[in-house]
């Protein structure tokens, strides 16, 4: 087994929308999801968030509309034959331009969103090219610095959702020493097929950050249980997940059979937690889980003072 490395991951900023991670070069329209200062394509300091670019585009298109209104006014004035006509055209034209400007000010947010849509849809090829370049930066980085490689993949994964990127992330995560204070994630990394690195990662998360073990992760383990149990540490992965699941009654209600099968292997502190849930809910049998918990209690913890409080 490869020796795991201690790492300190840089904080990961979650954004409400995936596009908020995307920046574009004002100069050459190259896109990136990374945090570099200069454009990887043209080398200039011209990267701005796509939303800023959309705002620039919106203001530019509104400016064009105002200029057209003024131009129209000018043409009308030039075609006028009397002083009254000139005055009416000039006054009317200017008034309309001011009204247009007021209207545009109110429309700016919605126009910016429209321009953003247009920018993202119209630049799909450029965005993909940018992300490919980001990916090649990632694979170059992975060779000599797995941590940077992982951080780059984590950014790319906000925009591109595919299993190849998830698996690469999992493999890299498996080369790190995981700690509770790390900004770790589990649900976005789940794939459909069985993967031993993913199973091992879930087992570790169940120990260091058990709040990340939710229904989807438990479902993954149950679907692939047969293969997981063929792994050397398979049983301990399943047991660790059961230990994480008993933090909430909800999961005992959802997966009583799973918890029953691994209850015997739970460490004392996790079994105590399960025992408390069982004692607090005297009318539930949970398909035999209650009997199994009583049997384990009688065998191992009868004389344990922490358990006596629940008598
Ligand atoms: Zn550029």
Q: What is the pLDDT of residue 159?
A: 86
Judge contact between 89 and 80, C-beta under 8 A. yes
The CA 149 to ligand 1 mean position distance, Å, reads 23
Q: What is the pLDDT of residue 2?
A: 63
pLDDT band per the 50, 70, 90 thresholds, residue 1 = low
The CA 36 to ligand 1 mean position distance, Å, reads 12
Judge contact between 132 and 33, C-beta under 8 A. no
CA atoms within 13 A on the CB side of 10: 13
The alpha-helical segments, DSSP class H, found in 123-248 are 124-144, 146-159, 163-173, 196-208, 215-223, 225-228, 234-245
The CA 133 to ligand 1 mean position distance, Å, reads 13
In angstroms, the CA 123 to CA 128 distance is: 9
The CA 177 to ligand 1 mean position distance, Å, reads 37
Closest-CA residue to 128 (of 156, 164, 100, 90): 156
The CA 24 to ligand 1 mean position distance, Å, reads 8
Taking residues 252-278, report their average pLDDT.
97
3-state secondary structure of 282: coil
Lowest pLDDT segment from 141-155, 175-189, 227-241, 263-277: 141-155
The CA 148 to ligand 1 mean position distance, Å, reads 22
The CA 97 to ligand 1 mean position distance, Å, reads 36
Q: What is the pLDDT of residue 10?
A: 84
**311 pLDDT above the threshold of 70:** no
The tokens for 132 are: 């490919």
Q: What is the pLDDT of residue 139?
A: 87
In angstroms, the CA 104 to CA 91 distance is: 20
In angstroms, the CA 221 to CA 241 distance is: 8
Cβ atoms < 10 Å from Cβ of 51:
19
Distance from the Cα of residue 16 to its chain's centroid: 9
The CA 257 to ligand 1 mean position distance, Å, reads 57
Q: What angle do CA 73, 75, 79 make, to 5 degrees?
A: 115
How many residues make up the chain in this entry? 311
The CA 30 to ligand 1 mean position distance, Å, reads 5
Instruction: State pLDDT tens for residues 31-56.
Output: 999 999 999 999 999 999 999 999 99
Q: What is the pLDDT of residue 310?
A: 64
Instruction: State pLDDT tens for residues 243-257.
Output: 999 999 999 999 999
CA 175 to each of CA 12, 58, 145, 201: distance values in angstroms, whole numbers, following the listed order: 19, 46, 11, 10
The tokens for 285 are: 């049998």
The CA 31 to ligand 1 mean position distance, Å, reads 8
């Amino acid at each position: 087994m490869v020796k795991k490395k201690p790492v300190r991951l840089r904080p990961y900023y979650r954004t409400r929308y995936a596009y908020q991670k995307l920046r574009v070069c004002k100069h050459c329209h190259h896109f990136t999801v990374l945090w570099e200062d200069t454009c990887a394509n043209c080398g200039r300091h011209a990267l701005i968030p796509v939303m800023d670019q959309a705002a620039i585009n919106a203001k530019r298109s509104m400016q064009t509309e105002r200029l057209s209104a003024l131009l129209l006014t000018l043409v009308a004035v030039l075609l006028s034959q009397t002083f009254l006509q000139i005055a009416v055209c000039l006054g009317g034209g200017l008034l309309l331009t001011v009204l247009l400007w007021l209207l545009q000010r109110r429309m700016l947010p919605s126009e910016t969103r429209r321009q953003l849509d247009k920018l993202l849809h119209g630049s799909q090829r450029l965005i993909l090219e940018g992300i490919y370049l980001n990916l090649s930066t990632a694979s170059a980085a992975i060779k000599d610095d797995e941590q940077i490689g992982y951080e780059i993949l984590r950014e790319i994964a906000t925009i591109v959702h595919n299993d190849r990127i998830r698996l690469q992330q999992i493999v890299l995560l498996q080369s790190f020493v995981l700690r509770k204070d790390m900004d770790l994630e589990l649900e976005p990394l789940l794939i459909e097929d069985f993967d031993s690195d993913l199973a091992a990662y879930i087992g570790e998360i169940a120990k260091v950050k058990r709040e990340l073990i939710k229904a989807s992760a438990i479902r993954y383990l149950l679907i692939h249980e047969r293969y997981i149990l063929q792994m050397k540490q398979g049983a301990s992965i399943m047991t660790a997940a059961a230990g994480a699941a008993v933090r909430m009654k909800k999961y005992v209600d959802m997966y009583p059979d799973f918890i029953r099968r691994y209850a015997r292997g739970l460490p004392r502190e996790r079994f105590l937690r399960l025992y408390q849930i069982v004692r607090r809910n005297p009318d539930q049998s949970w398909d035999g889980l209650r009997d199994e918990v009583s049997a384990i209690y009688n065998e191992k913890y009868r004389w344990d003072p922490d358990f006596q409080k629940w008598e």
